[in-house]
Amino acid sequence: MRKLILSATLVAASVFGMASVQAAEPAKAGEQYIELSNPVPVSQPGKIEVVELFWYGCPHCYHFEPTLNPWVEKLPEDVSFKRVPAMFGGPWDAHGQLFLTLEAMGVEHKVHAAVFDAIQNQHKRLTDPKDMAEFVATQGVDKDKFLATFNSFAIKGQVNQAKELAKKYEITGVPSMVVDGKYRFDLGTAGGPEGVLNVADQLIAKERAAK
């Protein structure tokens, strides 16, 4: 876990000092992105899938949100976007299970930003289910329903699936992006937040042309 946290930190250290001109360059395999040797099946066949792997405890994921969200809202109909929590033990697992619970309850879109803010700006740990329940209750989420969902067999299965996906994507830090289960890139390789979206746009176009 320490290695992953350091990786995320090193990525960010190189990100925000990079020249924006790099983001305008054509994306190249082995440079701006990595082509996975074993493509991962997408969750919605027929659509071009974009996945963001993140962690609520990662400040770089938090600062990526204002750039990422407007882009996601404008994605065309043939593109699907989903977040997958990276879980490598300890608070990563707790926060990942929190996200998956909110998503299963259909309230993730209402609470996601508040959870990020609580952890990043209010310095709440939110690693204990009871503390999570108390917090999401302030956002209009039923505490008992949250805890029942959090501890459900279905969520435990989703936790295992998310962990397997992270392994298959071969991520070493967050935030990381994956397009159509084939191409992985991050803030460091792509040249910052805008660079990530530029690379994503290019790879989406590449996949659309190949269909």
Mean pLDDT of the chain: 91
20 has pLDDT over 90: no
Fold held by 2-10+28-210: Glutaredoxin (3.40.30)
Q: Could you give the CA distance from residue 201 to residue 33 in angstroms, rounded to a whole number?
A: 12
pTM for this structure? Answer: 0.88
Q: Could you give the CA distance from residue 163 to residue 151 in angstroms, rounded to a whole number?
A: 17
* pLDDT computed for residue 38 by the predictor: 97
Kindly report, residue by residue over 44-81, the tens digit of the pLDDT.
999 999 999 999 999 999 999 999 999 999 999 999 99
Lowest mean pLDDT among 10-24, 146-160, 173-187: 10-24
Domain ranges of the chain: 2-10+28-210
pLDDT bracket for residue 95 (50, 70, 90): very high
Lowest mean pLDDT among 6-15, 21-30, 201-210: 6-15
High-pLDDT (> 90) share of the chain, %: 87
